[in-house]
Structure 1
Amino acid sequence: MRSRLLFLRKNLGNVLESRRYASKNKDHCDAHMNELPIPCGDFETFYADRQSFYNKILVGGALWFAFSLVMMVYTGSIYLNFFPPAQPGPPSDMITDADDKC
Structure 2
Amino acid sequence: MMRGRILSLRNNVVSLMSQRHFGKPPRCDAHMNELPVPCGPWEPWYTERQSFYNKILVGGIMWWLFSFGMLLYTDSIYLNWRPPSNPGPPSDMVEECDDSDT
Q: Note the C-alpha offset of 1:27.
A: 2.3
- In 1: Cα distance, 2:75 partner to 2:60 partner: 22
- In 2: Cα distance, 1:59 partner to 1:75 partner: 24
- In 2: Cα distance, 1:53 partner to 1:95 partner: 62
Q: Note the C-alpha offset of 1:26.
A: 9.3
- In 1: Cα distance, 2:87 partner to 2:57 partner: 42
Q: Which residue of 2 aligns with 1:36?
A: 35
Letter of the aligned partner of 1:41 in structure 2?
G
- Which ranges of structure 2 fall in alignment gaps of 5 or more residues? 1-20, 96-102
1:87 aligns with 2:86: yes
Letter of the aligned partner of 1:89 in structure 2?
G
Q: Note the C-alpha offset of 1:66.
A: 0.2
Q: Secondary structure at the match of 1:82?
A: coil
Deviations 1:33-59 (A, max 9, x none): 111111123211011001101100110
TM (norm. structure 1) is: 0.61
1:77 aligns with 2:83: no
The structure with more helix, counted as a fraction of residues: 1
- In 1: Cα distance, 2:65 partner to 2:85 partner: 26
Q: Which residue of 1 aligns with 2:63?
A: 64
**CA RMSD of superposed structures (Å):** 2.4
TM (norm. structure 2) is: 0.61
- Which ranges of structure 1 fall in alignment gaps of 5 or more residues? 1-21, 97-102
